[in-house]
Amino acid sequence: GDPDRISRDDVTAFVQRVRDLGYAPSSIERKVASVKSFHKFLVREGITENHPTARLPLPKVPERLPDVISIEQAERLLSQPFPPGPVGYRDRAILEMLYGCGLRAGEIVSVDITDVDRETEFIRVYGKGDKEREVPVGGAALGALDEYLAHGRPFLRPRGTTRPPDPSALFLNVRGRRLTRQSVFVLVRRYGECVGIDVH
């Protein structure tokens, strides 16, 4: 069909269709990620300006986070108010990349600054066995990442010491060290509870 005429509702209907057909959550995730990557390619190549999947969250984030959350729940999770300050910018960027880009918690914490390519709008991530893949990041996720890099990360550093923050890690804790996977689980649970999503 004409890529200019594909709407977000069409993509949402597709996701619901494969879910109704009984596909495993991991299969649904791969299918949605493929659709998102395809539209990203079409936009990048100038074939269309239509990007209906730019803000479409993936329905699953594995590694002991909730097996499946609905697109409506993901929208609720991402559209809630975040606390002012660097931690709020960081947390919003993390949730956008988890649910908007389909990254796993372990991948999120392993991403380095040098893995982010703003020109191509891709992030290089490393999964199990250091298997490398490139993930498109656009729309709200890219905006949240830019805000974190400008207003969040520079202010996450050890207080009362001269020790500099971790120079390589993208996501830092309040002491300027690389964020742990367990910390990501905790913040997802906390923000989920704020909007009534049980993530235990």
Distance CA 152, CA 83 (A): 12
Q: How many residues does the chain have?
A: 200
Per-residue pLDDT band for 114 (boundaries 50, 70, 90) equals very high
Ramachandran class of 121: left when φ > 0, alpha when ψ lies in -120 to 50, beta otherwise: left
In the chain, how many H helices and how many E strands? 7, 3
* pLDDT at residue 62, rounded to an integer: 41
Residue 32 has pLDDT above 90, yes or no: no
* pLDDT at residue 67, rounded to an integer: 45
For the entire predicted model, the pTM comes to: 0.65
* Residue 99: burial class (beta carbons within 10 Å; 0-12, 13-18, 19+): buried
